[in-house]
Copies of this chain bind each other. A is one copy, B any other.
Amino acid sequence: MLGRLNHIAIAVPDLEKATAIYRDMLGATVSDLQPLPEHGVTVVFVDVGNTKVELLEPLGDSSPIATFLEKNPAGGMHHVCHEVDDIVSARDRLRAAGARVLGDGEPRIGAHGKPVLFLHPKDFCGTLLELEQA
């Protein structure tokens, strides 16, 4: 069920500075800034060949990463996104096994235009997992 690692997401307080770290210090290819107001973040994508690192900065007053950055003001690893073939069957299988799906459990359209769900970190080794239908 658990498919390829689509991206890891790192929340940062300053996306320009984070972009400079990945582009200039680490020599990686970093996309332009993409504001995603419907998701409450501005994002850049770091292309590392086999997957992506996404750097997220809060956008707007109710960003989903605002609380995380209050607790981790320097930034930090926020979530890991894996691809699945069928997100509804993945959700049903996980729920049947006792796992908690965040929100109302209905897939939403994520930052890549595909259906996504988030799983409760307490059920997954303290790690916020995103599932994205490939």
Contacts and interface: CB of A to CB of B under 8 A. Distances in A.
Interface of A: 1-5, 8, 10, 12, 18, 21-22, 24-28, 46, 48-51, 53, 55, 72, 74-77, 80, 82, 93-94, 97, 99, 121-127
A125 B2 contact: no
19 contacts: A1-B27, A2-B46, A4-B48, A4-B51, A5-B49, A5-B53, A10-B125, A12-B125, A18-B125, A21-B123, A24-B97, A26-B82, A26-B124, A27-B93, A72-B126, A74-B126, A75-B125, A76-B126, A77-B77
Nearest to A7: B5
A124 B8 CA distance: 14
Given A2-B48, A74-B125, A77-B127, 8 more contacts: A25-B99, A26-B124, A72-B126, A74-B121, A74-B126, A75-B126, A76-B126, A77-B126
Contacts of A124: 21, 26
Contact of A125 (B3, B21, B49, B126): B21
